Amino acid sequence: MLNIVESVLNEVHGELSTISHRLTTSFLKEMDERYIECTTTLTYSSGECLLRGRSLYKDEQAILARRTVSVLSVLLDNCESKCSAESYEKRFNELIGNIRRICTALETTNCSVLYSGFLLSITRLLTSIHRHTEIAAHIIDIAKVMISSRPMPVVADATLQLLSVVDECALCTGTVGNLRVDYDQGVLLYKKDSCHLQVLLKQVEVYIKCVESAYLYSETIQTTKCSLLLYNSCGGDSSGSEVRCECRCVLMQVIVYALLVCARFLGTISGDKDELISVCRSGVRILYESVLRDVEFGSQLGFNEGHLIELCEIIKRYEHQEIYLLMLSEISSIFQLCAEETSASYSQKTFVESFNTFSITD
């Protein structure tokens, strides 16, 4: 099976090599337009969909490779015992090397949108291989290239889940970089020196918006859980750290928005809401700890301040233990503005009466 997979991967790499030698400005512009288009709609694919022969979206490429890689992932998941390191480690390293070359070619050709189905199967395969042998360093390297290649939002979410088995904070470069959102087109713009973790989080935020529009609350719960795990694995607080990167601040903004979407689903679904409430409570604990640690927590959220206020108001409508109500009150208190103290020597009446004798002369 490994021989078949390697053969298929070589074919994909050959296709991308051909594309890289024939790149044109019009092709790159079309890929940019495709990326902008895919950030407004959700292309969702379950594990079973990756095995099917039909296209998952318009103009999908490398369908055979996507199916073949998915089959190998399923076989590894159903393997009762771990593969022998001596017999498979070398083959796995060769396979991972081919995957890295393909991802690099996708980044160069700027056409990851067309190969997003294949990239989804790659994330599942890497997770399966990691269960049999230690490849954390390889996962980090491949994830960085995948993030920079601008795939569909669903791949960003799959990458976040893939990184949950390793140290996600290794994605942080420790530099601020150039990262901003083009609000005219609604897409993320970044350069080579941007923090990969920040870029991934912004891509995940786009995915959450797409999931909310599609009313897929189960997927929202899973993404929110991964975000909370990422916060815990990164040590939560960055105060006192010498790292200049703002990825933890961006992570908190994404967590607030993800929790808000979960809270909104509480009023729309008619089934069991226990899991949604549980996720929201976990998020409230993290937000409460952040408020206690940082007096400027509210200002760091930026436009997500409104999301946090709405989140607190929605969660308060449901029954909770007293400790959670106290946490919500403490979080809400950071937005309560106090009136400025009036000077003791100030008299409003005297100030108003002074205008009775006021005149303008030439």
Q: Which amino acid is residue 43, in one-letter code?
A: T
Burial of 3 (0-12, 13-18, 19+ CB in 10 A): exposed
Residues 19 and 62 placed together within one structural domain of the fold: yes
Residue 99, C-beta contacts closer than 8 angstroms, at least 6 positions apart:
9, 122, 125, 126, 142
Residues 152 and 203 placed together within one structural domain of the fold: no
Task: Enumerate the β-bridge partners of residue 189.
Answer: 180
pLDDT at 83: 57
Closest C-alpha among 36, 77, 65, 71 to residue 51: 71
Question: Cβ distance 203 to 154 under 8 Å?
Answer: no
Question: Cβ distance 125 to 39 under 8 Å?
Answer: no
Residues 206 and 301 placed together within one structural domain of the fold: yes
Render the burial of 97-129: b for 16+ CB within 10 Å, e for the rest.
Answer: ebbebbbbbbbebbbbbbbbbbbbbbbbbbbbb
pLDDT at 181: 52
Domain count across the chain: 2
User: Is 193 domain-assigned?
Assistant: no
Residues 151 and 230 placed together within one structural domain of the fold: no
pLDDT at 339: 40
Residue 26, C-beta contacts closer than 8 angstroms, at least 6 positions apart:
none
Residues 25 and 158 placed together within one structural domain of the fold: yes
Residues 245 and 122 placed together within one structural domain of the fold: no
pLDDT digit string, tens, across residues 314-331 = 988 888 888 888 888 888
User: Is 343 domain-assigned?
Assistant: no
Closest C-alpha among 188, 24, 182 to residue 111: 24
Residue where a domain terminates, one of 124, 145, 166? 166
Residues 211 and 152 placed together within one structural domain of the fold: no
Domain that holds residue 137: 1-166
> What's the average model confidence in pLDDT over 246-272?
88
Residues 77 and 123 placed together within one structural domain of the fold: yes
Residues 135 and 74 placed together within one structural domain of the fold: yes
User: Is 284 domain-assigned?
Assistant: yes
Query: What is the chain's mean pLDDT, rounded?
Result: 81
Say how many Å lie between the first and final Cα of the chain, rounded. 96
Residues 239 and 109 placed together within one structural domain of the fold: no
Q: Binning pLDDT at 50, 70 and 90, where does residue 242 land?
A: very low
User: Is 237 domain-assigned?
Assistant: yes
Residues 149 and 240 placed together within one structural domain of the fold: no
CA 266 to the chain's CA centroid = 22
pLDDT at 342: 46
Residues 204 and 80 placed together within one structural domain of the fold: no
Alpha-carbon span 217 to 289, nearest angstrom: 26
Worst-scoring range by mean pLDDT, 9-13, 43-47, 173-177, 277-281?
Answer: 173-177
Helix, strand, coil fractions of the chain, as percent rounded to 5: 65, 0, 35
Among 74-78, 178-182, 345-349, the range with the most confident prediction by mean pLDDT is 74-78
